[in-house]
Amino acid sequence: FGCARYVNHPSGRSLIASIENGITSKAAAPLLTLWDGERLTRIKQTTLATRLRITCVAVSESGTLIAYGAADGTVGVLNHKLQ
């Protein structure tokens, strides 16, 4: 496991973004999962385009931007549209 962040979406929907590092092996790319914060059901899952260990994640208040930071100091930002 890497990290997780909870956010209240303006629509009243709550979100959880979680990062899992090296699910299948230490060399595997991290997995980002978005969850419905009330039902705890998976909304979306994607593999990140990095092999670095992710140490933090942040979600914008609108729920559309997801930022993550890696152990070497690099960051990434994903644009996510809630359906």
| Whether the predicted model's global pTM rises above the 0.85 cut | no
pLDDT more than 90, % of the chain: 25
E runs forming strands in the chain? 3-8, 14-20, 31-36, 42-47, 54-59, 65-70, 75-79
pLDDT in tens, 12-32: 888 899 999 876 666 688 999
The confidence score (pLDDT) of residue 67 equals: 92
